[in-house]
Amino acid sequence: MLAWFHAYWWLVALIFMPITIWLYRHERSYRTLLMAELEKFGFTYISEESPGAFDTGPFPKFEKPKLIRSRVRLLGIRGDWATYRLVHFLNDAHEEQTAWVKIRYEMFHISSIEWNPILYSFVTNKQKKRDAA
């Protein structure tokens, strides 16, 4: 009887932990990180949305494997993953814009941030002329 009880709790932990980790990663807010990225171009952050569970937006669902990629695990938790956000912001002409962002983690730290479309494409001609002068 006692052995069954312990096996039951292990089973609950094996189901509960991955779901909890996925929810944490999926619902986490990246507001400060995204605000800093947008301010580099003079844009103003409005909000961010977490897409559906398997929605990657314009990014490919399956990536080609890289030859050198970390395969770090700590207590069975993967250290490399990617998360996606739909970001709403104001460009330099105060028009609301939307872009997808992919935040890649390697070894439990952010390794890259990709925007689609690229943020520079939202800069207005007036700002481009000002930057060129």
Residue 64's pLDDT band (boundaries 50, 70, 90)?
A: low
Question: How far out from the chain centre does Cα 60 lie?
Answer: 14
Least confident stretch, 14-23, 37-46, 87-96: 14-23
Domain ranges of the chain: 30-132
Q: With 60 as the cut, is the pLDDT of residue 125 above it? A: no
- Residue 60 has a pLDDT of 80
Of the candidates 73, 67, 82, the residue with the CA atom closest to the CA atom of residue 112: 82
User: Which letter does DSSP use for residue 128 in this model?
Assistant: H
- Of 13 and 30, the structure prediction assigns the larger pLDDT to 30
* DSSP-assigned letter for residue 60: -
**Neighbour tally for 37: CB within 10 Å:** 19
Verdict on whether the full-model pTM lies above 0.85: no
Element (H, E) at 106: strand 96-106
- Position 99 scores a pLDDT of 92
Are 96 and 90 in contact by the 8 Å Cβ rule? The answer is: yes
